[in-house]
A and B are shown apart, each in its own frame.
Chain A
Amino acid sequence: MTTIAFDDVQGIILRGYKELLFARFVLFGVTDAGAARNWLAGLSITAASERDQETATNVALSWEGLRRLGVPDADLDRFTVELRDGMSKDAQRQRALGDIGKHAPEKWSWGGPSDPIHGVFLLYATTGEKLTELEARLFERQKTGVVALHKLETRALPDGAGAKQYWFREHFGFRDGVAQPRLALRSQTPDAERRGVLRRAGEGNTVAPGEFLFGYANEYGKEPDGAPERLRNNGSFLVVRQIEQDVCAFWQFVRDKAHKLDVSPILLASKMVGRWPNGAPLVRAPREETAGLEQFDAFGYAEPDPDGHACPFGAHIRRANPRDALVPGERQSVQIVKTHRLIRRGRSYGEPIHEPLEPSLFLPKLDALASSVTGERGLHFLCFNTSIHRQFEFVQQTWINSPKFMGQHDGSDPITSPFDGGAFEMPGLPARRRVTDMRTFIRIRGGAYFFMPGLRALRSIVELGP
Chain B
Amino acid sequence: MRAADGPGGAGRLRAALAVVKDSAAHPSSLVHALPFHRVRGLHFARFTIVEEGETKPTFGPKKYLPAELVLSLVFDGTKVECVEQFIGAARRELDIIYASCEAYPGPKAETAQVRDYLFAHDVLPFVFYQGIEGATVTAVESTAALRDRLRAQLDARLMHGTAETAASLSHDLRPRPPIIAARDLPPALPVLSERALQLRVLAWILVVVSPFVVLALLTGMAAWKIGASEGGSVAVGFAPVALLLALLLLHEAADARALQREEPKSVAQRDFSRVRIVEDVAVQNALSHCVVVKSGVRPIALRIVFWAIRQRVSIVDRYARSLGGIASIHFARWVPLDGGDRLLFLSDYDGSYESYLAEFVDRASAGLSSIWSNTLGFPETWLLVFKGAKDEARFKKWTRDKQLETPIWYSAYPARTVANIHNDLRMSQLLATDQATPDDSAWLGLL
Contacts and interface: CB of A to CB of B under 8 A. Distances in A.
B354 A397 contact: yes
Given A335-B362, A430-B169, A436-B155, A397 B352 contact: yes
Contacts of A407: 417, 419-420, 423
A220 B352 contact: no
Interface in A281-326: 307
B362 A339 contact: yes
B352 A432 contact: no
Nearest to A219: B392
Interface stretch (B3-11, B58-66, B76-84, B278-286): B278-286
A292 to B, nearest CB: 30
A107 B415 CA distance: 29
A430 B350 contact: no
Nearest to B144: A409
A335 B155 CA distance: 37
A433 interface: yes
Contacts of A328: 194
Given A222-B392, A397-B354, A409-B420, A403 B283 contact: yes
A222 B165 contact: no
B324 to A, nearest CB: 13
Given A92-B276, A398-B354, A431 B158 contact: yes
A431 B358 CA distance: 34
A386 to B, nearest CB: 10
Interface stretch (A118-126, A373-381, A388-396): A388-396
Given A407-B419, A430-B162, A431-B158, A222 B391 contact: yes
A429 B166 contact: yes
Given A222-B392, A398-B355, A409-B420, A81 B269 contact: yes
Contacts of B154: 431
B350 A404 contact: yes
A336 B352 contact: no
Interface string B371-410: 0000000000000000000111100000000000000000
B268 interface: yes
A387 B397 CA distance: 13
A198 B351 CA distance: 32
Given A77-B268, A336-B362, A407-B419, A96 B161 contact: no
A262 interface: yes
B435 interface: no
Contacts of A403: 283
A19 B48 CA distance: 57
A329 B420 CA distance: 21
Interface size grouping (class) on chain A: 35 or more
A409 B445 CA distance: 14
Interface in B151-166: 154-155, 158-162, 164-166
A453 interface: no
Given A222-B391, A339-B362, A394-B358, A92 B277 contact: yes
Contacts of B420: 404, 407, 409
Contacts of B444: 430-431
B387 to A, nearest CB: 10
Contact of A434 (B155, B164, B281, B283): B155
B258 interface: no
A121 B392 CA distance: 33
A260 B171 CA distance: 24
B282 to A, nearest CB: 10
B112 interface: no
A95 B354 CA distance: 13
B143 to A, nearest CB: 12
Contacts of B361: 220
Contacts of A429: 166
A77 B276 CA distance: 20
Contacts of A402: 351-352
B322 to A, nearest CB: 9
A203 interface: no
A5 interface: no
Nearest to A432: B447
A407 B422 CA distance: 10
Interface string A404-418: 100101100000000
Interface string B340-362: 00000000001110110010011
B273 interface: yes
Interface in A323-341: 327-328, 332, 335-336, 339-340
A404 B159 contact: no
Interface in A65-96: 77-78, 81, 90-92, 95-96
B267 interface: yes
B280 A431 contact: no
Nearest to A91: B277
Contacts of B160: 260-262
B354 A393 contact: yes
Contacts of B362: 332, 335-336, 339
B155 A397 contact: no
A405 B437 CA distance: 32
Contacts of B158: 261, 431, 433
A404 B280 contact: no
B310 to A, nearest CB: 24
A225 interface: yes
A431 B166 contact: yes
B351 A394 contact: no
Given A398-B355, A404-B351, A407-B417, A95 B162 contact: no
Nearest to B350: A404
Contacts of B273: 90, 92
Contact of A398 (B269, B272, B351): B351
Given A90-B273, A434-B155, A95 B281 contact: yes
Contact of A390 (B283, B351, B354, B363): B354
A261 B352 contact: no
A409 B148 CA distance: 10
A336 B351 CA distance: 16
28 contacts: A77-B267, A77-B268, A81-B269, A81-B272, A220-B361, A225-B393, A261-B159, A261-B161, A307-B445, A332-B362, A332-B363, A336-B362, A387-B393, A394-B355, A397-B280, A397-B352, A397-B354, A398-B355, A404-B420, A407-B419, A430-B165, A430-B168, A431-B158, A431-B166, A431-B169, A431-B445, A432-B445, A433-B158
Given A262-B160, A404-B351, A431-B445, 13 more contacts: A77-B268, A90-B276, A92-B273, A92-B279, A92-B280, A96-B352, A222-B391, A225-B393, A340-B358, A398-B355, A402-B352, A430-B166, A431-B169
Question: Which are the 8 A-B pairs with shortest beta-carbon distances?
Answer: A262-B161, A407-B419, A430-B166, A398-B355, A92-B276, A220-B392, A404-B417, A431-B444
Interface of A: 77-78, 81, 90-92, 95-96, 220, 222, 224-225, 260-262, 307, 327-328, 332, 335-336, 339-340, 387, 389-390, 393-394, 397-398, 402-404, 407, 409-410, 427, 429-434, 436
